[in-house]
Amino acid sequence: MAALTNLLDLEPAGLLRWCGDLGEKPFRAKQLQRWIHQFGESDFSAMTDLAKSLREKLDAHAIIAAPAVISDHTSADGTRKWLLDVGNGNAVETVFIPEENRGTLCVSTQAGCAVNCRFCSTGKQGFSRNLSVGEIIGQLWLAETLLRRAKGVPQGPKGERQITNVVMMGMGEPLLNYEPTVAALKLMLDDNAYGLSRRRVTLSTSGVVPMIDKLAGDCAVALAVSLHASNDKLRDELVPLNRKYPLRELLAACKRYLEFAPRDFVTFEYCMLDGVNDSDTHARELLALVADVPCKFNLIPFNPFPESGLKRSNNARIKAFAQILMDAGVVTTVRKTRGDDIDAACGQLAGEVQDRTRVQERMQKMSAYQEKYGKDFGRIVEIPG
The distance of Cα 141 from the centroid of its chain, to the nearest Å, equals: 15
107-157 pLDDT, tens digit each: 999 999 999 998 988 877 889 999 999 999 999 999 999 999 999 999 888
Residue 340 has a pLDDT of 61
Residue 243 CA to residue 240 CA, distance in Å, equals: 6
26-63 pLDDT, tens digit each: 999 999 999 999 999 999 999 999 999 999 999 999 99
Residue 147 has a pLDDT of 96
Q: What distances in angstroms separate CA 277 from CA 13, 16, 152, 251, one per listed residue?
A: 45, 49, 46, 19
Q: What percentage of residues in the chain have a pLDDT greater than 90?
A: 78
Sorted by where each starts, the structural domains of the chain and their CATH numbers stand as: 5-63 (1.10.150.530), 68-360 (3.20.20.70)
Residue 300 scores a pLDDT above 80: yes
CA nearest neighbour of 225 among 211, 217, 233? 211
Q: What pLDDT band is residue 376 in, cutting at 50, 70 and 90?
A: very low
DSSP code of residue 273: B
pTM: 0.87
Q: What pLDDT band is residue 356 in, cutting at 50, 70 and 90?
A: very low
Q: Hey, which residues are catalytic here? A: 93, 346
Mean pLDDT of 75-80: 92
Q: In this structure, are residues 325 and 286 in contact, taking their beta carbons and an 8 Å threshold?
A: yes
Q: What distances in angstroms separate CA 333 from CA 185, 301, 317, one per listed residue?
A: 26, 11, 14
φ, ψ of residue 305 to 5 degrees: the values are -145, 150
Torsion of CA 129, 134, 90, 179, to 10 degrees: 10
Residue 243 has a pLDDT of 97
Q: Give the angle 317-323-324 at the CA atoms, nearest 5°.
A: 95
Residue 304 scores a pLDDT above 50: yes
